[in-house]
Amino acid sequence: MSADISGFVRNVRLVKLVLRVMDLPDKTIKFERQAGTAQGYRYPLAEEYLGANTQEQLEELADNSLMERQFVAKEFGCPKCGSVNLSLRLHCPNCDSTQVERQDIIEHVSCGFQGPQSKFVDNVCPKCSQPLGQVGVDYVRQGTQYVCRSCDQIFQAPIQKLTCMRDDISFSVSDAPEVSLYNYGLMPRLEEEINRAVNQQQYIQEKVEALGFKTRSPATMTGRSGVKQTFFLVATSGVGFMKTNIVMDIINTGSTEEVFSLYAKAIDVGAYGVLFAAIPSLSDDAKKVADSYGMTYVEAEDMSTTADRLVKKFAELVETPEERMLEVFGGLGKQGPPSQVA
């Protein structure tokens, strides 16, 4: 694995995203227009895994030739916030009002008055108060022009301005920056590395099953809260009330927040124990949290090393007496009966 790819494949959330995208027919992450978002568009599939700064991460992957930018369109953006959620509006060149409309210009032949059709109420001339009469004889249409409802100015063409629907500011097209919209397709290099990661996942399953457990990876379990919780792997032994689930997961920030989140998920599904890997390491505070909650963990530099260390640690745990196993796992199983794998 090349040095530039290894850092990305170390990101477990990215691995999960790529696996999801690999199942798509076109293997492409596509943007969707959503007026209520900051930019006027977003990448909802990628956001499920990458979080708030999704586009920055997709761009970083493209810069490193791990994803391919697929040009879709070039549009104008807001000079203030960059959003492409814009509206094209017509403005009066005299007072800048947007209350402009296109009307027929009528000339009343008998008195010479010319004006927009809206001035001839009930087909009566506003100057001489006489009925218009017959078109082509008593009055003629001089074509169409724009009329401002605010200042009554008549003009040939209005000024076109863009309005940002987020900031409610108007600006000329010449002041609007150009924004390129892309979809992102997987590059073969990234697929190859992710496939290697999948092979490591299968390797873990095989080794755990050889120890007498049934496995599912990835696995979704419905917790007491009703929320479906997803884990890298669930190892199950026993049946009925004797059934126990050991959940296994991988975290990549090494933060206390990720450890807390994993513990909450394990408690929600009534897991008997938790074993997780941190790539590349846990912070000191995160280690303290894991230890205090009886969560077993290993640290590893990459997915390949992770697989070996997870398998070795799992084997050590299941070979210990049950009393020791409960001590190592912190007695998570005492929280209640285990949930069933969905």
Write the pLDDT tens digit of every residue in 86-110.
999 999 999 999 999 999 999 999 8
**CATH code of 228's domain:** 3.40.1350.10
Contact between residue 239 and residue 306 where contact means Cβ atoms under 8 Å apart: no
| Shared domain check, 74 and 26 | yes
Residue of 169, 174, 144 lying closest to 158 (CA atoms): 144
Report d(CA 103, CA 9) in Å as an integer: 63
Mean pLDDT of 58-74: 94
Range of the domain at 295: 197-332
Residue of 106, 152, 104, 154 lying closest to 131 (CA atoms): 106
Please report which confidence band the pLDDT of residue 4 belongs to, taking 50, 70 and 90 as the band edges.
very low
The total number of structural domains in the chain stands at 3
Tokens of 14: 């990215």
| Shared domain check, 103 and 77 | no
**Does 88 fall in a domain?**
no
Residues in the chain: 342
**Does 130 fall in a domain?**
yes
| Shared domain check, 263 and 212 | yes
| Shared domain check, 260 and 111 | no
| Shared domain check, 150 and 71 | no
The residue type found at 142 is: Q
| Shared domain check, 291 and 213 | yes
Mean pLDDT of 177-204: 88
**Does 166 fall in a domain?**
no
| Shared domain check, 33 and 56 | yes
**Does 340 fall in a domain?**
no
| Shared domain check, 241 and 128 | no
Question: Angle CA(314)–CA(319)–CA(325) in degrees, nearest 5?
Answer: 75
**Does 192 fall in a domain?**
no
| Shared domain check, 128 and 29 | no
| Residues in Cβ contact with 305 at an 8 Å cutoff, skipping those fewer than 6 apart | none
User: At 15, which helix (H) or strand (E)?
Assistant: helix 12-22
Q: Looking at the predicted structure, is the pLDDT value of residue 338 above 70?
A: no
Phi, psi of 234 (to 5 degrees): -125, 125
Per cent of the chain over pLDDT 90 is 54
| Shared domain check, 204 and 68 | no
Q: Structure pTM? A: 0.59
| Shared domain check, 325 and 242 | yes
Q: Tell me, what's the pLDDT at 324?
A: 45
| Shared domain check, 317 and 211 | yes
**Does 120 fall in a domain?**
yes
Q: Looking at the predicted structure, is the pLDDT value of residue 339 above 80?
A: no
Report d(CA 155, CA 132) in Å as an integer: 23
**Does 284 fall in a domain?**
yes
More confident residue, 242 or 90: 90
How many CB atoms sit inside 10 A of residue 217's CB?
A: 16
Write out pLDDT tens, residues 194-215.
Answer: 887 778 888 999 999 999 899 9
**Does 87 fall in a domain?**
no
